[in-house]
Structures are given as C-alpha cells and as structure tokens.
Amino acid sequence: MIFRTACREALGAPALAMAATFLAFGAAVQAAGLGFGWGLAAALLVYGMPGQMVLVTAVALPGGALPAVLGAAAANARFLPMAVALSPWLGGGVRRWWALPFIAVTPWAMAMRRLPGLPAESRLAWFLGFGLTSWLVAGAATMLGHAIAPLVQGPVLALLLLVNPLYFALILASEMRAAPSRRAVICGCGAVPLALLLPAAWGLLAAGLLGGTLAFLWGQRRERR
Amino acid sequence: MSGADLALILLILACALLRAAGLLVAGRLRADHPFVRWAASVALATLAAFIAVAIVAPTGMLASIPFAARLSGLAVALGWMLWRGGMLAPLLAGLSATAALAALTAA
C-alpha cells in the first residue's frame, strides 16, 4: 500500500523534473555521437545528473577516459553524504541495500521530508516505490530524448536543463522551516564563490563540504548554548 | 571497448561504491548521530550550491538563458509556492516566466 502511495507521489512535480532533465541528457548523448545503450546505461546505473553531464562532455575531449571519470565521480560525490544521511531511515537489515541504485537527489530530498513522519516499517517500502518510479521515468525520458534529439535543441534544451535547479530550489525552500536545513542552505549558498573558483567538477563538492561543515558547526554551537 | 565505454563502466562502479560506502558506514547509526547530521548538512549545502551556481553562473546551454530570465523564473517559482503551495504549479510558473522573459530579451 505504502509502495503504491510512493509511486503516485513520484508522478507529479518529481516526475516532471526527472523527465525534463533526462530528456535533455538523452539529447546530449545523441549530440555527442554516443549510442542509445550508452545513454540508457549512464542514466540508470550512474543516475546522477551532474556526473552524467560531465562524462558526456568530457569523453568527447582528447585526453582519455580517466580525467572524465575523475571529474564525473567528483561531481557525483554527494552520493556518499546522501547515503549516510538516508541510511538510518531505511532500517538496519540487509533489505536496505535494495535502495542503493535509487539514491539520487530527487528521491533523497523527498525521502528526507517524508520518511521521518512514516512508521519505521513503512519507510523502506516508501523509498523503494518513489525511487523505482523516478528511476523508470528517468530511463524512459533518456530513451525519448535520444530518439528526438534534433527537436531538443537551443532554447528548448536550455529550458529543460533549468527544470532541475528550479525543482530543487522548491524542495529546499520547503525545507527551510527546519533550522538545520536553513543553516545548510545559507552556508551552501555562502560557499558558492569557492565553487566558482575551482574546476566545475570539484567546485561543487568543495562548496558543499565547506558550507555543510560550517552549517553543522553552527548548529552544534547553538545547541551548546 | 571504446574509451567512452570504459569511462562509463568506471563511473558506474565509482557511483555504486559511493552509495554503498554511505549505506555501510551509517547502517548502524541513528538519524540524530552527529556524523549523520553532518552528512545531511553537507548534502543539503551541496544541493544549495548547485542551484545557486545554475542560476548565477551556469555553464553550457543553461548559460544561453539570460541571467534576468533565470532569476525571474526562480523568483516566480518560489513566490508561487509561498502563495499557493504545491510543487508542480510553481515549477511550471517559474519555467513560463523564464521562457517569456528570455523570449522578450531575444526579441
């Protein structure tokens, strides 16, 4: 029951955001001269848009695969703190490993809002329902984007790429009522100059580490008072 | 195997390792453990930085949308959400505002 509820929840704004972004990704894969299977594997098995886009851009450049992989992995390094933050909500058994392929920004952000309010025995089912639905939407949108790539260019592609940041901004804005989230968002935005100074793949990771650590220390200090 | 295929396989493994490491490390911790709270803070701050960069100084195709249009889209989406709630309608309103302003700027 909770599984189906989660599937339905994933089919609103989250599905639109996923579909738009992965449609743009499918078109970018086709434009880079990469195959349909490559794009689908990247969408479903990497399942982290910044890293996917870094990889698509970088593999086309001379210099080999390794720099592309390092840059893309750095861009997706947020999976580690996300999985750490999510793990305690998924229960302690081995079943929580089923969630592994679905840990990405959209399911994670929605899960951090929803899971604390659900009974412990329903949390994993909710995450699997939401995650699986989002994952399937991402795969379908990538296939469609690859197929209709000539139609997804210029301003249309740019608008599709804007859907993701706008959607994430809405998620974060709805989280701002909680003080720890508010502090993390403020410090993350404050650390943006670091992201702009460093190479793109490393900059976001560095800004997140700095901003997130400062926000955490800020919270610790307030608790001690 | 081409360089692109090799790069994709290595990235898939790297991403799986990052996720697995997180699940493994925090599997026995409570949600209010300081390490888990720090990790959540880092993940949220990274997301906030990603959004800020996408609006203020994006690269690639996103940069073809004028800054004023990107910022207006964000403002309209957030304003709509504060006013009426929901997610889908604010998202569509923000996109419409961006598209309209970008078209006006280009005209």
Nearest to A52 by CA among A30, A66, A69, A36: A69
- Per the prediction, chain A carries an average pLDDT of 88
Q: What is the mean pLDDT of residues A141-170?
A: 89
Q: What percent of chain A has pLDDT over 70?
A: 96
Count of Cβ atoms closer than 10 Å to residue A173 Cβ: 18
Nearest to A104 by CA among A207, A220, A18, A190: A18
Which residues are CB-neighbours of A216 under 8 A, at least 6 positions away? A184, B34, B37, B38, B41, B42
pLDDT at A60: 67
Q: What percent of chain B has pLDDT over 70?
A: 100
Q: What percent of chain B has pLDDT over 90?
A: 53
Q: What is the mean pLDDT of residues B14-32?
A: 87
What confidence tens digit (pLDDT) does each residue in A42-91 have?
999 999 887 888 788 777 666 656 777 877 887 788 888 889 989 989 98
Cα A81 to the center of its chain, rounded Å? 12
Q: What is the mean pLDDT of residues B96-100?
A: 95
The dihedral built from the CA positions of residue A122, A117, A48 and A15, taken in this order, carries a sign that is positive
Provide the whole-model pTM: 0.82
Nearest to B43 by CA among A196, A37, A109: A109
Contact A45 B49 (CB under 8 A): no
A125-162 as b/e, with b when 16 or more CB fall inside 10 Å?
bbbbbbbbbbbebbbbbbbbbbeebeebeeeebbbbbb
* Residue B56 exposed, middle or buried by CB count within 10 Å (0-12, 13-18, 19+): middle
What confidence tens digit (pLDDT) does each residue in B51-68 have?
999 899 888 788 899 999
Q: How confident is the model at residue B79 (pLDDT cuts 50, 70, 90)?
A: very high
Asked if B61 contacts A158 with a C-beta cutoff of 8 angstroms, the reply is yes
Residue position matching structure tokens 């990603």: B50
Nearest to A184 among B5, B14, B45 (CB): B45
Instruction: Nearest chain A residue to B76 by CA: give it.
Output: A166
Q: Give A113 to chain B, closest Cα distance, Å.
A: 12
Q: Give B37 to chain A, closest Cα distance, Å.
A: 7
Count of Cβ atoms closer than 10 Å to residue A122 Cβ: 16
pLDDT at B12: 95
Count of Cβ atoms closer than 10 Å to residue B99 Cβ: 18
Interface of B with A in 3-32 (CB under 8 A): 3-8, 10-12, 14-16, 18-23, 25-31
Cα end-to-end span (Å), chain B: 47
Interface of B with A in 47-106 (CB under 8 A): 47-57, 59-62, 64-65, 70, 73-74, 77-78, 81-82, 86-88, 90-92, 94-95, 98-99, 102
pLDDT at A64: 59
Q: What is the mean pLDDT of residues B44-50?
A: 88
Instruction: Nearest chain B residue to A65 by CA: give it.
Output: B7
What confidence tens digit (pLDDT) does each residue in A102-149 have?
999 889 989 988 999 999 889 999 999 999 999 999 999 999 999 998
Q: Give B90 to chain A, closest Cα distance, Å.
A: 8
Confidence check on the interface: ipTM exceeds 0.85, yes or no: yes
Look up residue A51 and give its amino acid. Answer: G
Q: What is the mean pLDDT of residues A88-96?
A: 85
Position B15 pLDDT exceeds 90: yes
Nearest to B49 among A154, A164, A204 (CB): A204
